[in-house]
Amino acid sequence: MLQPLLASGSSLAYHAQQHLLVRLCGLTQRTARRVLLRERESFSRGELDALQQRWHALLQRDLDNVAAGVYPRGLLFGLPWQRYARALPDLVRDVPAMVQRRKRGGWRELPDDVAVKQYPPYYRRTFHWQTDGYLSRRSAELYDVSVEFLFGGTADVMRRQALVPLAALRRRLGRPLRVLDVGCGTGRTLAQLCRAMPDAELLGLDLSRFYLELAEQEVERAGGRLQSIVGNGEAIALPDASVDAVVSVFLFHELPRNARRNVFREFARVLRPHGATVIVDSVQRSDSAEIAYFVDRFSREMHEPFYREYLGDDLAAGLTSQGLRVTDVSPAYLAKVVTAVPAAAGA
């Protein structure tokens, strides 16, 4: 009797938390849009209903994963509230600068003290109009709270759906996994993986050393250790067949088509024969016409220059073209989870 009561209490607390987050973030975003941009949202009732259905499905999936033992209950309540609260005033102060940068098209406004030519051309920009792009410590410190705010408290929820196929791989192999996160950013996915699979060997690759520094700290707080690699996913500095799993979260919509193809190729190269690659990224137009308004708005407003191209492509087809076989595609609110294995692994 006690276990069902605990489960029921966790479900109620979790739903209360997520409803509060989505309402607060939604109200603040609508207010900021009216005051700073003089704009109003113009989605239909059907589009809103479709969005809410996907949101509810994500929350239920999150609870089901905990019930199935995929990851611990603590991840449901794992947002670092105090850290985000300390960062929020800096984010609020930065919003007017972001709005002005958007108005003047200042996507080249990067720090003067960073040698930007060492980065690929597509990376040298202020993604999301955020100050410094991905090339400063301050940008890294504001990134997580800004993304949670943008997605109404569901960014971590969408990220951890990658743990489902990883848990299945762990059961299938019967041993700890060696996992590489490509474009790991500040390490939120890796930290959740660390809490779900404390015995996993974790590697994180990112072009920004500023974000990698925070990723190391994030994994350390989770009780693990991160092997960090400053580098480009188009040329991963690891031997062939050297990892059990390659993970990527919210990376591919920021890459031009040729770079995506190169990264797919590298995923296939570094995977062990019985490994898997797991991608969590934005839905594409072929996935859900009902929420096209929301993804199209994101591509227009957030300086994502390759996002429209991404929306028209297909992640599964891209993986297949590089020798991987897609085994599952699952919705996760505004994202989807694509799992693939080496084609040579068989059916």
Domain boundary assignment for the chain = 1-84+144-347, 85-143
Six-digit token string for 21: 């987050």
Say whether pLDDT at 207 is over 80. yes
Q: Is 340 helix (H, G, I), strand (E, B) or coil?
A: strand
Three-point CA angle 100, 103, 104, nearest 5°: 90
**What average pLDDT is seen over the chain?**
92
Q: Is 169 helix (H, G, I), strand (E, B) or coil?
A: helix
| 124, 232 contact by CB (below 8 A) | no
Six-digit token string for 259: 């770079």
Six-digit token string for 318: 């891209």
> What is the model's pLDDT at position 39?
67
CA dist list (Å): 293 to 12, 57, 96, 205, 315? 31, 19, 25, 32, 20
Say whether pLDDT at 247 is over 50. yes
Say whether pLDDT at 2 is over 70. no
Rg (CA), the chain: 20
| 299, 308 contact by CB (below 8 A) | yes
The tens digit of pLDDT for each residue in 15-34 reads 999 999 999 988 888 777 77
Q: Is 2 exposed, middle or buried, given 0-12, 13-18 or 19+ CB atoms closer than 10 A?
A: exposed
Q: Is the torsion defined by CA of 57, 61, 67, 73 positive or negative?
A: negative
Other C-beta atoms within 10 Å of 172: how many? 10
In angstroms, the CA 304 to CA 99 distance is 15
> What is the model's pLDDT at position 309?
92
Say whether pLDDT at 137 is over 70. yes
Say whether pLDDT at 301 is over 90. no
> What is the model's pLDDT at position 227?
98
Mean pLDDT of 174-194: 98
Say whether pLDDT at 52 is over 90. yes
In angstroms, the CA 97 to CA 205 distance is 30
Nearest to 179 by CA among 149, 201, 155, 210: 201
| CATH fold of 1-84+144-347 | Rossmann fold (3.40.50)
Which of 76-80, 92-96, 304-308, 343-347 has the highest average model confidence (pLDDT)?
76-80
Which of 44-53, 281-290, 334-343 has the highest average model confidence (pLDDT)?
334-343
Say whether pLDDT at 6 is over 70. no
Six-digit token string for 300: 């227009």
Q: How many CA atoms lie within 13 A of 84 on its CB side?
A: 13
> What is the model's pLDDT at position 37?
65
| 278, 250 contact by CB (below 8 A) | no
Mean pLDDT of 279-300: 80
| 261, 321 contact by CB (below 8 A) | yes
> What is the model's pLDDT at position 9?
82
Max CA separation in the chain (angstroms): 62
DSSP lists the bridge partners of residue 280 as: 249, 337
Alpha helices in 120-208 (DSSP H): 137-150, 155-159, 163-173, 188-196
> What is the model's pLDDT at position 45?
82
> What is the model's pLDDT at position 1?
41
Mean pLDDT of 81-105: 91
Nearest to 211 by CA among 223, 224, 200, 226: 226
Say whether pLDDT at 346 is over 70. no
Q: Is 338 helix (H, G, I), strand (E, B) or coil?
A: strand
Mean pLDDT of 88-108: 90
Say whether pLDDT at 8 is over 90. no
| 253, 307 contact by CB (below 8 A) | yes
> What is the model's pLDDT at position 38?
67
DSSP lists the bridge partners of residue 139 as: none
| Segment among 42-46, 188-192, 210-214, 233-237 with least mean pLDDT | 42-46
